[in-house]
Structure 1
Amino acid sequence: MREITASGQTVDEAVQAALEQLKTTRDHVEVNVIDEGKKGLFGVFGTKRAYVTVRIVENQIEKTEKYLKQIMKQMNVSATVRTTVVDNHVTYEVTGDDIAVLIGKRGQTLNALQYLLHLAMNKSGTEFYTVTLDAEGYRSRRKETLEALAKKMADKAVRLNRKVALEPMPAFERKIIHNVLQENEAITTYSDGHEPHRHIVIQP
């Protein structure tokens, strides 16, 4: 993390001088104004230069992307990462070879990595972001699978007239189940248990 002190006729000039020395842009730095300076009489007499301290702050999103690439390298997975940001939600889309290693059984490895990225993203950043880690479109396929499973289990609960418990899954997957069944008046759904064994129960 680099930091320099620069001066100029105005605060803006001082900041610009610092950016040129650091070879970076305004959105990658934190500025602390030491002295706003003074224009002086006729712009000459009593002029006082402005002083600022400019510090490079690593972008949270870029830093987390580097962290993901380091993890993949350690897992011997050769893949590329495409990052998209919508409001305060960041999606890392991974494509390449050996993607199955990243996904794991029923997406368990992918979910664990997503949790790590969420922690890394918000560890020391100034903004709060939610994170989705996807691999070769796995999330959309998993969503379709969960929606089909939800409807199938709801029918089973009604047919047998008893509660049906689903396998443990993370909160964002449980939400998919709740959403797809919320308009089904024949059943109710609720989550039961404690993480990481929290699961959905479908009740007639």
Structure 2
Amino acid sequence: MMKMVVSGKTVEDAVNEGLRQWKVGEDRVKMTVLEQPAKGLFGLIGARQAKVELELIPDPAEEAELFLRDVLRTMGLEVELNRQMEEDGLLFNLSGPEIGILIGRRGQTLDALQYLVNIVANRQSDRHVRIMIDAEQFRSRRKQTLEELSMRIASKVVRTKQDVVLEPMTSLDRKIIHAKLQDHPHVRTYSQGDEPNRKVVVSLK
């Protein structure tokens, strides 16, 4: 974490000087008063300014973007990165000619990158921010594919009256299957097995 020691006629003056130098608001710093101001004899001899130590609180969004850009640079990828606030968190959209490398098989690389970015962004922050990473609308396309698969499997289970065990999936993909079928009138879902081979089972109610 970044720290600085600043002085001023008053504690408030010292803090304001530090905020001015860092160009941040008061909510982004932790303050420790090192010395209180003293007027001294006759207001002159032994006069002492206030001395304050300020510690900059990392911003999760900035930490996430810095880490993400560093990973992309290390991988030697030319990727355009845009960030936007969503209702349930902060979304980073990635795009570029080599984006398939970042997506990986069924989004596994993208999921791993998102997991790491969340750890880095929130490790020193007082407020938790959910970070989401998408690559050229992969997640919305993947969600649609899984939801369509869910309905086909549900119809098969109803028709054959036999359970269907899907192939191993990530927790995010399993969550989509469970959510899509949770209100289905004839089938239920549950997960079985251990990571990374945990699977969704669709069975009759």
Which TM-score applies when normalising by structure 2?
Answer: 0.84
Cα pair 1:36 1:50 within 8 Å, conserved? yes
Q: Structure 2: any 5+ residue segments left out of the alignment? A: none
- Give the direction of change, closer, same or farther, for the CA distance of 1:7–1:165 in structure 2 (3 Å limit): same
Give the corresponding residue for 2:96.
96
* Residue 81 of structure 2: aligned partner: 81
Using a 3 Å threshold, how does the CA distance of structure 1 residues 16 and 92 change in structure 2: closer, same or farther?
A: same
Separation (CA, whole Å) in 1 of partners of 2:151 and 2:39:
72
TM-superposed CA distance for 1:189, in Å, is 0.6
Query: How far apart in 2 are the matches of 1:160 and 1:38?
Result: 86
Q: CA RMSD in A?
A: 2.6
Offset of residue 159 of structure 1:
1.2
Q: Which amino acid aligns with 1:149?
A: L
Q: How does 1:171-186 map to 2 (within 5 A)?
A: 171-186=171-186
Structure 1: tracts of 5 or more residues without a match: none
Contact 1:88/1:128 (CA < 8 Å) preserved in 2? Answer: no
Q: Which residue of 1 aligns with 2:115?
A: 115
Q: Which letter does structure 1 place at the counterpart of 2:24?
A: T
Answer yes or no: is the 8 Å Cα contact 1:169–1:197 preserved in 2: yes
How many Å separate the matches in 1 of 2:87 and 2:139? 20
CA contact (8 A) 1:88 1:129 kept: no
Displacement after TM superposition at 1:38 (Å): 6.9
**Structure 1 length-normalised TM:** 0.85
Tell me: CA distance 1:59–1:172, structure 2 relative to 1, closer, same or farther (3 Å).
same
Q: Are 2:16 and 1:24 aligned?
A: no
Q: How does 1:1-204 map to 2 (within 5 A)?
A: 1-20=1-20, 22-26=21-25, 27-35=27-35, 37=37, 49-86=49-86, 89-204=89-204
SS of the residue corresponding to residue 90 of structure 1 reads: strand
Q: Percent identity?
A: 36
